[in-house]
Chain A
Amino acid sequence: SAVISQKPSRDICQRGTSLTIQCQVDSQVTMMFWYRQQPGQSLTLIATANQGSEATYESGFVIDKFPISRPNLTFSTLTVSNMSPEDSSIYLCSVKGQGSNQPQHFGDGTRLSIL
C-alpha cells in the first residue's frame, strides 16, 4: 500500500492561532480524506479533499474552520484555524486507490494540543 507521511507529527499551539498539517503520499491516489480523532474517541470524517476543487465537508465541519487544499494527486493540507482547546485532537489523513475494492489507508496522524 501507499506510504503516507504527515507533518508535523505533533504540535502544541496557542489558542487563536492556526496550524497547517501536510499529507504527502508516495504514489498517485484517487481520493484523500481528513479525519479527527478526539482523545479516547473513534475517528470522525472531516472532509473529502478533492483535487483541483473545494473539499466536501461533513455535517458539523466548515471550510472557514478547516480549510483544505489538494493541488495534485499526491498532496493535501488541512488547516485548523483560530484554534481553541476543544480542537486538541489527532488529525489523520487517509488515501484510497481507484476501484470500489480499494480500502482506505491512514497516515500516523498529527497530535495537536492547544493551550
Chain B
Amino acid sequence: GQQLNQSPQSMFIQEGEDVSMNCTSSSIFNTWLWYKQDPGEGPVLLIALYKAGELTSNGRLTAQFGITRKDSFLNISASIPSDVGIYFCAGAITGGGNKLTFGTGTQLKVEL
C-alpha cells in the first residue's frame, strides 16, 4: 500500500538549534498534516496544509506543502526541551474518504 517516508528517522540536537524534517510520498496528496506524539498520549495536530506551495507557521513551527504535492517539510526554530517527541506527517486525498496515511515518524531528542 501507499507509504510516506519521513527523514530523518531520529535526531539528536542541542537546545536552541533549528530542526528540519521532511516527508515524501510516491503519490500525490491534497492535504498534508503534521502531528506530534508524546509518550502515553495521542497525536496532537501541529499544522494543517491544504494547498500546494502553502507555507504555514504555528509559533516556532513552520511547514510547507511541496509544489509537486508529493512532499512536505516541517521546521522547528530554536528548539527547547519540550520539543522532544515523535513527529508524524500524514497525507489525505480529496474524495478518498478523508483517510489519513501516516509517515514513518521522526523522533526528536534534545540535549540540554
Contacts and interface: CB of A to CB of B under 8 A. Distances in A.
B100 A45 contact: yes
Secondary structure type dominating chain A contacts: strand
A95 B94 CA distance: 17
Contacts of B103: 42
Contacts of B99: 33, 45, 48, 58
A48 B92 CA distance: 14
Contacts of A108: 40-42
Interface string B97-112: 1111111110000000
A44 B104 CA distance: 10
Contacts of A101: 48, 50
Secondary structure type dominating chain B contacts: loop
Contacts, number: 55
Contacts of A100: 31, 50, 94
B104 A104 contact: no
Contacts of B94: 100
Interface string B27-52: 00001010100001111110010100
Interface in A76-115: 92, 94, 96, 100-101, 103-109, 111
B59 interface: no
Given A56-B97, A59-B1, A103 B104 contact: no
A42 B88 contact: yes
Interface in A33-75: 33, 42-45, 48, 56, 58-59
